[in-house]
Amino acid sequence: MNASHDPIGDLAGSVKQSWQRFLDVYEPLRPELYRYCRYLTRSAWDAEDLVQDTLARAFARLGCLFQPPPNPRAWMFRVASNLWIDRIRQAREVPGGELPEQGSEPAPAADRDAARTLIARLSPQERAAIVLKDVFDLSLTEVADALTTSVGSVKAALHRGRGKLTTSEPEPPGGPAAQSAPAAPAARVLDAFCDAFNARDLERLTALLLDSAVLELVGVVTEYGPEAARHPETGSFAGFFSPIASKVDGLGIDPVWLSGYEGQLSRVQVHQHRGQPILLYWYPHRDGEAVRAVARVSTDGERLASVHNYFFAPDVLAEVCRELGVPFRSNGYRYW
């Protein structure tokens, strides 16, 4: 046996190729999938998390199907629905379990009232059924398939849910929307992160990470610990210290997304979003600076426990930046 043979490395490479082929095929469904998840979760961050988990679950399930799904759109909604309903049920079964974030959003008063009703009064099955039928215009059969139930059960869920919508009442104090917000990251750590990043000080930046820190370029790569983040070829921190790369030999950002970009480095700034600090990555363009990435972080004491960067999550980027009223540019969903 060849001592240099690495079966785990070979497997990882094959899985990566298959995963990228899967995304090549299913990427056109991403905007609608995000919109559906956004209706369910009422939070941009939770919606993107659900999108990523749905794609991962669908990828694994596809390998177990003898026949490909005849309706990929409805099938993706089914996977997302099952994941979300399971999470709601598990949260309610665990003493002290927290329901997924139910954030408010800027919208006309009628939309806000409907959103509050959906959140506060509809069961998971009712909410999903109404969104699939009334928003995405799926047939009763498609809704039943998406929710793994019968047409009769869908009709009953629609009847109950629509009845609650037409007899909506104000949400009681202490309802889902009144849940306590997650603990804010330590301000000193965020300021130190921005100072080190904007100074291009990789040593100081990685010193802010816990040894167990998780760094995720959402939908693309996950890294564990400072050494992975600082790797000169694959590290995410090292990568952000370089200009955005246009596509060469199949890798990099498609030039269609780089119109007006001046090829310079970004700067990072802390900004408040819905009562929580987030990071905005500003890039120079011919018509001024624009945000091309947003990130959420968590801290443990005076160090970073996680960094989740949404550079390749254009749906989240657009929603957050529109809420903040800042200019932004998309990078698409991929680097290949």
pLDDT, tens digit, 9 for 90 and up, residues 261-308: 999 999 999 999 998 999 999 999 999 999 999 999 999 988 999 999
Q: Are residues 122 and 140 in the same domain?
A: yes
Boundary (domain end) residue, out of 178, 203, 221: 178
Residue 335 lies in a domain: no
Tell me if residue 172 falls in helix, strand or coil: coil
Whether 34 maps to a domain, the answer reads yes
Read off the tokens for 136.
């995405």
Residue where a domain stops, chosen among 110, 143, 178: 178
What SS3 class is residue 183?
coil
> For 194-228, how does the pLDDT look when each residue is reduced to its tens digit (9 = 90+)?
999 999 999 999 999 999 999 999 998 899 999 99
Residue 111: both structure tokens together: 């939309």
- What domain range is 254 assigned to? 187-324
In total, how many domains does the chain have? 2
Q: Tell me if 214 is assigned to some domain.
A: yes
**Per-residue confidence (pLDDT) for residue 97, from 0 to 100:** 53
CA 318, CA 254: separation in Å to the nearest integer? 18
Answer yes or no: do 159 and 281 share one domain.
no
Kindly state whether residues 156 and 196 are assigned to the same domain.
Answer: no
Same domain, 196 and 317: yes
CATH number for position 86: 1.20.140.160
Model confidence pLDDT, tens digit, residues 174-192: 344 434 455 677 889 999 9
- Going from the C-alpha of 182 to that of each of 102, 104, 283, the distances in angstroms are 12, 15, 29
Residues 310 and 170 in one domain: no
Single pTM value for the model: 0.80
Q: How many whole angstroms separate alpha carbon 46 and alpha carbon 57?
A: 16
Q: How confident is the model at residue 135 (pLDDT cuts 50, 70, 90)?
A: confident
Q: What pLDDT score does 264 carry? A: 92
Which of 178, 205, 222 terminates a domain? The answer is 178
